[in-house]
């Protein structure tokens, strides 16, 4: 058990059967009245953020999350199969759990799979991934305005904006947090 007075950034707790993580907290001791803890926390399954004030003595169950590195193998419809590198056991994970990052998921990628009491609810891709550009129109001479970009398709099927000097068959690095081009790795 953990009390609201013990809250710190990053602490995971259970409330009303849901999993939450503390984003921000502030212990407030007004001149009159009782102290309270102003808390901003995120639902780990839905991603929604709430703000609430708690009495410092309110108790919550501390949630223990299991994080394991797993290798992405393949997908079959809406199921994406991951293998635990220690036990070689395979786990099917629904696409909605992976979210929008599924567009950067390449076979063989090592991801962090987060579960609670055996239920997988989050798949974290590496922050940066290297992908091959499969479709990219050549730049047109004269299109050299500042920060000019063009659309490119990478090997996973995702379309992203890249600088004009990127060509088909280039390998580029992409930031999976925002889906932005980072740099060209090699030709």
> Which CATH number fits the domain that encloses residue 49?
2.30.30.30
My answer on whether 53 and 71 are in the same domain is no
Residue 8 has which token pair? 């710190």
At 8, give phi and psi (nearest 5°).
-140, 160
My answer on whether 80 and 112 are in the same domain is yes
The DSSP-derived string for 35-79 is -EEEEEEEETTT--EEEEEE-TT-EEEEP--EEEEEEEEEEETTE
**Given 94, 124, 154, which residue is the final one in a domain?**
124
My answer on whether 29 and 56 are in the same domain is yes
Is 141 or 40 the better-scoring residue by pLDDT? 40
Average pLDDT, the chain: 88
Per the structure, the count of domains in the chain is 3
Query: Which residue segment(s) compose the domain that 86 sits in?
Result: 66-124
pLDDT above 70 (res 32): yes
Band the pLDDT of 16: cuts 50, 70, 90. confident
State pLDDT tens for residues 67-82.
899 999 999 988 999 9
Which positions ≥6 away from 141 have C-beta within 8 Å?
A: none
Band the pLDDT of 152: cuts 50, 70, 90. very high
Return the pLDDT at 63: 84
Return the pLDDT at 90: 92
* DSSP 8-state code for residue 96: H
Average pLDDT of 162-186? 88
* DSSP 8-state code for residue 32: S
Return the pLDDT at 77: 87
The percent of residues in the chain predicted with pLDDT above 70, rounded, is 95
What is the rounded radius of gyration, in angstroms, for the C-alpha atoms of the chain?
22
pLDDT above 90 (res 137): no
Average pLDDT of 133-161? 82
Sheet with 149-154, edge to edge strand ranges: 159-163, 149-154, 128-136, 171-175, 180-186
124 Ramachandran zone, left/alpha/beta (phi>0; psi -120 to 50): beta
């Amino acid at each position: 058990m953990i009390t609201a007075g013990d809250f710190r950034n990053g602490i995971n707790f259970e409330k009303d059967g849901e999993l939450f993580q503390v984003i921000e907290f502030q212990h407030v001791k007004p001149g009159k009245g009782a102290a309270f803890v102003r808390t901003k926390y995120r639902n780990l399954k839905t991603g929604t953020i709430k703000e609430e004030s708690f009495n410092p003595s309110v108790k919550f169950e501390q949630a223990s999350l299991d994080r394991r590195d797993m290798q992405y193998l393949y997908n079959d419809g809406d199921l994406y199969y991951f293998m635990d590198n220690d036990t070689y056991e395979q786990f099917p994970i629904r696409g909605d759990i992976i979210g929008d990052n599924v567009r950067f998921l390449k076979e063989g990628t090592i991801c962090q799979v987060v579960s609670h009491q055996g239920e997988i609810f989050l798949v974290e891709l590496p922050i940066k991934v290297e992908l091959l550009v499969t479709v990219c129109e050549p730049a047109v001479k004269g299109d050299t305005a500042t920060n000019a970009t063009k659309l490119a398709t990478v090997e996973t099927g995702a379309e992203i904006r890249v600088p004009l000097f990127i060509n088909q068959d280039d390998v580029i690095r992409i930031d999976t947090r925002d889906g932005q081009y980072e740099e060209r790795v090699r030709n």
